[in-house]
Amino acid sequence: MSTVAPDSPARTSRAASGPDPLEAADALNRRLRTRRTETVASPQLEALALAVTANQPVLLWGEPGIGKSAGLEQLAAGLGVELETVIASVHEPSDFAGLPVVGDDPATTGVPMAPPDWAVRLARRGRGLLFFDELSSAPPAVQAALLRVVLERRVGSLTLPESVRIVAAANPPSSAADGWHLSPPLANRFVHLAWTHDPRTVARGMAGTWPEAAVPLVEPSRVPGAVARARGAVSGFLHARPGLVHHIPGDAESRGRAWPSPRTWDMALRLLATGYATGTGREAIAAALTGAVGDGAGIELLAYLENLDLPDPDRVLADPEAFALPERGDRQLAFLIAVVAAVQADPTRPRWEAGWAVLAKAVAAGVPDVAARAAVDLASMRDPAWPVPEGIDAFLELLQLSGALPGSG
C-alpha cells in the first residue's frame, strides 16, 4: 500500500486542480445555520426576558443540550447587545476576584485587582449580556468568588455598568460534570427558572424556524402605578404571612435553589413591578416570582395576588371620594400601602392630602388599626409648610408616640 507525504507533488496537484472539499462543506453548514424566528407564546422565554428586563440575575436549570445557550443568544439579539459567555467551571477564583497588580508604591496606592478581559470588554461597551455557563460544575471556591460579581457587579477592581445583565445556566448535580450543589449565598442571589424543551418546538426548529425571545418594554405611563401596586401587594402579603419573610430549607439541594429571604422578596417586588409596567402575562410572572422566593412562598403569593385586584392608587388619589374601601382586611392593608407608596413617588400637597382622605375612609369603615401603619408613613412625608389635614384626629395619639408630628414626644 502506497502513501503520499503531506507535502508531496501528488497532493499539491490535486488541490490545485479541483475545488476545496472543506469549502463546499463550510458552505453547506452556513446554509444550515440560516434560520428564521417567529413570535410565539413561550412562558419560559417570557419569564427570562422579564427577569432580564428587571435587571435581576437569572439562573436557568436544565439538562445538557436542551438549548439554554441558544435561548441566551436569541435574547441578546433581541436586546441588541453582545453576549459574553464565561464557562464558570474552568476558571479559578482569581478570575472573578481579580489578580493583584503591584504598582510602584503599593504602600501608598494599594494593590489593585486586575479584572479579566471579558469584564473589561463589557465595561467598555457599557451594556451587554454576561452569561455564566456550567455554574453547577464550579467548585465552592469559585462559587464564593462569584458572590460579588452577581450581587455587586464587582470583578476585581472594576464595577460592571448597570446595563450589563447577568444570566447563568446550570445542570442538575446528577447530570453535571463533577456537579456541586450551589452554595446557599450564591443560590439566594438568582431568580431560578426551569428550562425545558418542547418537542414540537425542536421539530419546527429543525425545519428552520425557532421561537423569538420577545423583550418586554416598560411603558413609562404605567411605572408609578406599577410600583405602588407591587409595593402594596408584596408588603401586604408579608404583613399577613410574616413567617415567610425568611425561611432557609433544611436540605442541601433545596438550599441551592430558590427560597425566601429579604433579598429575594426585594427581587420579587422588582419582578412584579416590572411585570405590571410591561403587561407581562400571568404565567411568566408566576414563573419569575416562584423562581425568586421558591415554590412554597411563591404559590402562596400568587394565590394572594389572584384575589387581590387592587385599584390603581393614582386614580384613587385623583378622586379619593369616588372609591370604596375593599372589604377584606388583607386587601385593605395592601391597598393602603399602595396608596402611601404612590404618594411617596410624587409627594405633592394635593396627593398627600388625598392620601389622608383615603385613610379617613378606613377609619369610617371601622378599621383604624389597618390604617395606622400607613398613617405613620404618610405623616413622615409632610412638608413643614403644609397644614395638618382633616381626618388626622383618629391617628393623633399614634403619630405623637411615633414622633411623626411636630413637637411630639
| Domain ranges, ordered by start, for the chain | 58-101+109-189, 309-409
In Å, how far from its chain's centre is CA 180? Answer: 24
pTM over 0.85: no
Which amino acid would we find at residue 143?
Q
Superfamily, domain 58-101+109-189: P-loop containing nucleotide triphosphate hydrolases (3.40.50.300)
φ and ψ at 58, to 5 degrees? -120, 140
The residue assigned the cell 388583607 is 330
Nearest to 373 by CA among 346, 408, 349, 338: 338
- Please say whether the beta carbons of 329 and 370 come within 8 A: yes
Sign of CA dihedral 147, 149, 152, 154: positive
Tens-level pLDDT at each residue, the chain (409 residues): 555 555 555 555 555 556 787 888 999 999 888 878 777 778 888 999 999 999 999 999 988 877 788 888 888 888 889 999 999 888 888 888 887 777 666 666 667 788 999 999 999 999 999 999 989 888 889 999 999 999 899 998 899 999 999 999 998 866 655 667 889 999 999 999 998 877 888 888 888 887 776 788 999 999 998 999 999 999 999 988 999 999 999 888 899 999 999 999 999 999 999 999 999 999 999 999 999 999 999 999 999 998 887 788 888 999 988 888 888 777 888 989 999 999 998 899 999 999 988 888 888 888 777 777 788 888 889 888 998 777 676 677 656 555 555 544 4
Extended beta strands in 122-211, E state: 128-133, 154-155, 158-159, 164-170, 191-194, 209-211
